[in-house]
């Protein structure tokens, strides 16, 4: 059997972190401490994942064969296909809780009340996750297509790798620049105890943390994409669910804008 090197283990942990199931019982154990927020500690550097092709290149550069890298990626995408798409239905119709973010980029701080009167799409993402990287073009497209029609887009960075590191706004700025996000981006560094916990990690078991909420003009949750990836059709059967989800998101936005 091939020995797993340390970088392979790191990649596996990073991707597993993107779709880590989090339930109520885990919440009381794993999330019951405050993350450190000192900005004086030495800062670590993390790979900004750009795409699945980027991940494949990184795996090959660390000694995997092309076939092994393809098999690893296929396994992760196949696991995504089995995700429960109804996860989050318990949050539909709920008034959005207040934000408890640790900072903002591309915007002055915003509140839920500030956003009322607009349809709002909020997507949690991180830098080391290929699912999030693959969804970045969709976020840019939705922002460009619907902003003039009244949509407010907010990205929310939450660290998975280095989740216990001190708050690092420069790290967030690097990924925002790399992914060319022009819309407001909030920082939910202490997501295990703050905004993501209040919005998502309480209640039933969740399939992932890279969740998308769409709020109506009254600030009520009307649509949830429970995590991972969405984008336009790229012609690959393994990504068919991603394009279906993208269509559902656009339909939800258009329906709410018309109300």
pLDDT at position 124: 98
- How many domains is the chain built from? 1
R_g of the chain computed on alpha carbons: 18
The pTM score is: 0.85
Phi-psi region of 76 (alpha: psi -120 to 50; beta: other; left: phi over 0): alpha
3-state secondary structure of 69: helix
Residues of the chain with pLDDT under 70: 1-43
The Cα–Cα gap between 179 and 140 comes to: 9
How long a stretch of residues is the chain?
Answer: 259
Query: Where do the DSSP E strands lie in the chain?
Result: 104-105, 119-125, 151-157, 185-187, 212-215, 221-225
pLDDT at position 18: 61
Opening angle at CA 66, ends 65 and 67, nearest 5: 90
pLDDT at position 80: 86
Q: What is the CATH number of the domain that holds 163?
A: 3.40.30.10
Phi-psi region of 163 (alpha: psi -120 to 50; beta: other; left: phi over 0): alpha
Give tens-digit pLDDT for 122-159.
999 999 999 999 999 999 999 999 999 999 999 999 99
- Residue range(s) defining the domain that contains residue 170: 1-259
3-state secondary structure of 78: helix
pLDDT at position 41: 52
Report the DSSP beta bridge partners of residue 127: none
pLDDT at position 79: 87
């Amino acid at each position: 059997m091939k020995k797993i090197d340390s970088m392979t283990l790191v990649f596996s942990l990073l991707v597993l972190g993107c779709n880590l199931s989090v339930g109520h019982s885990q919440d009381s154990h794993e999330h019951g401490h405050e993350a450190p927020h000192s900005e004086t500690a030495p800062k670590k550097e993390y790979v900004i994942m750009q795409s699945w092709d980027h991940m494949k290149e990184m795996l090959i550069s660390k000694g995997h064969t092309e076939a092994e890298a393809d098999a690893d990626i296929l396994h992760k995408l196949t696991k995504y296909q089995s995700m429960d798409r109804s996860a989050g239905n318990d949050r539909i119709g709920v008034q959005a809780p207040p934000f408890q973010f640790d900072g903002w980029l591309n915007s002055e701080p915003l509140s839920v009340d500030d956003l009322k009167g607009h349809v709002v799409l909020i997507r949690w993402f991180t830098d080391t996750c290929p699912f999030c990287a693959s969804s970045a073009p969709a976020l840019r497209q939705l922002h460009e297509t619907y902003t003039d029609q009244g949509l407010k887009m907010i990205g929310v960075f939450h660290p998975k790798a280095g989740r216990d590191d001190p708050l690092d706004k420069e790290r967030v700025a690097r990924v925002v620049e790399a992914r060319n996000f022009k819309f407001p981006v909030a920082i939910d560094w202490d997501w295990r105890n703050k905004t993501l916990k209040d919005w998502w990690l309480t209640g039933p078991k969740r399939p992932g943390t890279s969740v998308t909420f769409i709020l109506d003009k009254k600030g009520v949750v009307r649509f949830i994409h429970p995590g991972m990836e969405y984008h336009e059709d790229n012609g690959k059967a393994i990504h068919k669910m991603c394009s279906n989800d993208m269509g559902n998101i656009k339909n939800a936005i258009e329906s709410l804008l018309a109300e």
